[in-house]
Every structure is written in structure tokens, then in C-alpha cells.
């Protein structure tokens, strides 16, 4: 398995999802609609990035009661970096929020006048 189908969003009552050692390369954005998810283990896959809306999964027990090795370790994380991922869902949400703000600022045309 290299990626999950978008249809995962239909599992609205899902509370636990264990995806360790599945060679996943990406998570669908639709996983972010599973707001009832409490347990999500993604360790030892091939994930480089989490979906931008991942911070919406506020009910996740992201390493608070479980070791981070089951949660996210063993992935070549780039976005957000592993050190951010290990800090939990709030840190992930902040990372993407700041990334979006920086992107918005860099694409806003310069409105200063030259003299």
C-alpha cells in the first residue's frame, strides 16, 4: 500500500487507525475530515509530508500517551519536520498556519511607491 484512498473520509465514526509499516508515501487530504479520530499511528512508512489541514484533527492523542515511535517515527518527514511532528498536533497546526501566512505574504504584490 503506497497511499490511502480518499474514500477514507466516509469512515466518520472511526476512532483508531493503525497504519504502521505500510510503505505509505502520502495521506489523502480527506483524512483530515475524520475529526473523531483519537489514535493514528503512522510510524515506519515513507511519509514526507502531512496534509495541510492535519491540525484539524484536534482529538488525536499524538504522542501524549503513546510513544512517538508508533505515531510518526521511521518516516522521512519534511513538511512539517520531524521535530515539529513530535511536539504534537498543536505544533503541527501552528507550523501549517505559519507556512500559509508566509506563503500569503510572499505572494502579495509589493504596493510601496518608489520616490
The answer to whether residue 33 scores a pLDDT higher than 80 is yes
Taking residues 63-84, what's their average pLDDT? 82
In this prediction, residues 4-14 reach a mean pLDDT of: 91
Q: At a CB cut-off of 8 Å and minimum separation 6, what does 68 contact?
A: 85, 86
Q: Greater confidence, 9 or 61?
A: 9
Q: Answer yes or no: is pLDDT of 1 > 60.
A: no
Q: 39-41 and 16-18 as β-strands: parallel, antiparallel, unpaired?
A: parallel
Predicted model pTM: 0.82
Largest alpha-carbon pair distance within the chain?
A: 61
Low-confidence winner among 28-32, 68-72, 79-83 (lowest mean pLDDT): 68-72
Beta carbons of 9 and 30 less than 8 angstroms apart: yes
pLDDT of residue 101: 82
**pLDDT recorded at residue 2:** 80
Band (pLDDT 50/70/90 cuts) for residue 3 is confident
DSSP state letter for 109 = P
What is the pLDDT confidence band of residue 106, given thresholds at 50, 70 and 90? low
* Residue 16 DSSP one-character state: E
Amino acid at each position: 500500500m503506497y497511499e490511502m484512498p480518499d474514500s477514507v473520509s466516509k469512515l466518520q465514526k472511526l476512532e483508531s487507525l493503525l497504519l504502521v509499516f505500510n510503505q505509505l508515501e502520502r495521506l489523502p487530504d480527506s483524512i483530515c475530515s475524520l475529526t473523531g479520530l483519537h489514535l493514528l499511528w503512522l510510524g515506519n512508512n515513507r511519509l514526507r509530508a502531512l496534509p495541510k489541514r492535519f491540525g484539524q484533527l484536534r482529538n488525536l492523542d499524538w504522542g501524549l500517551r503513546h510513544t512517538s515511535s508508533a505515531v510518526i517515527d521511521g518516516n522521512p518527514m519534511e513538511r512539517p519536520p520531524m521535530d515539529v511532528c513530535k511536539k504534537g498536533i498543536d505544533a503541527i497546526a501552528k507550523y501549517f498556519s505559519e507556512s500559509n501566512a508566509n506563503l500569503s505574504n510572499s505572494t502579495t504584490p509589493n504596493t510601496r511607491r518608489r520616490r
